[in-house]
Amino acid sequence: MEIRGESQNKYWSNRAHTYGHQYGLDTETAKIKVKRKVNEMAKYLDFNVGKIIECGCGTGLFTKEFLRLNPKLLSTDLSSDMIGVARKYCPEGNFMQLDARKMNLSDESYDVVVSSFLLQHVETELVLPEMYRILKPNGCLGAFVPNILNPLHYSRARVGFMRSILHENSQSEDFNRWQWEKILSRQGFNSIVVRPIEFTSPYLPLGILPLATKISEILERLPLIKEFAGSLLIVARKV
């Protein structure tokens, strides 16, 4: 199924109840990994602001951690089915169905926009201008995306037989950190940070996760090696 254009709502509604399990997002390890990622994002942007919106909340895994830092968060998603899953996981959240490609929101109305693993699934030429438009001057975008240089993500996105083995049917457009810097700069963002993060798996046993996290933190600082991390942390500011 074509997942962009008008088919996007149907695609994500069909995947709402299986998406988390397919990617290991329903494990206790995944919850700890997400908490660490959001804490790392908080080192670059201030969550303690007036208005903050999440675009593409998905199953709500990141929503819960964003809410921990700002309980006034508004979480949005194109799919009402995804919002239903997120609301069950995160009943304290404030949710609204919204298409990030054409948000019915006022210009310069939010201090922070956050998203987690949304941008690779949408038309960035539509979504990033919308995010920029609703941000107040000096407002911040914070996002997580897959790192195409990571062997697993490269296989999921580009290698046909591996996509079949991994039951991957998404049509993500993944980039490396230098490409993301250029994309964000073209949209008018500045003070851009794109940082490789995370070498651990959501399937790791909890008992070895602390050690694995320490190793991951070391690898994330090593020249060249860090470029193969699983994710990219993006922070960019509106002029």
Tell me: the pLDDT tens digits for 195-229?
999 999 999 999 999 999 999 999 999 999 999 99
Q: 211: Cβ–Cβ under 8 A, 6 or more apart, which residues? A: none
Does 142 score more than 90 pLDDT?
A: yes
pTM for the model: 0.93
Name the more confident of 173 and 73. 73
How far apart are alpha carbons 188 and 236 in whole angstroms?
Answer: 10
pLDDT of residue 11: 77
Tell me which amino acid residue 92 is.
E
Contact 146, 117 (CB under 8 A): yes
Place of tokens 């500045």: 190
**What's 5-238's CATH class?**
alpha beta
Q: What is the number of H-type helices and E-type strands within the chain?
A: 10, 7
Beta bridge partners of 77: 97
Longest Cα pair distance anywhere in the chain, in angstroms? 47
Residue 84 corresponds to which amino acid? G
Give the per-residue pLDDT at 1: 41
Neighbours of 52 (CB within 10 A): 26
> pLDDT by residue (tens digit) across 151-207?
988 888 878 777 777 666 777 789 999 999 999 999 999 999 999 999 999 999 999
Instruction: List the one residue out of 43, 33, 28 whose CA is nearest residue 142.
Output: 43
Q: Give the pLDDT confidence score for residue 2 in this predicted structure.
A: 47
d(CA 213, CA 207): 11
* Two structure tokens written together for 155: 């296989």
pLDDT band at 6 (very low <50, low <70, confident <90, very high): low
Report the candidate in 208, 84, 101, 228 with the shortest Cα–Cα distance to residue 152: 228
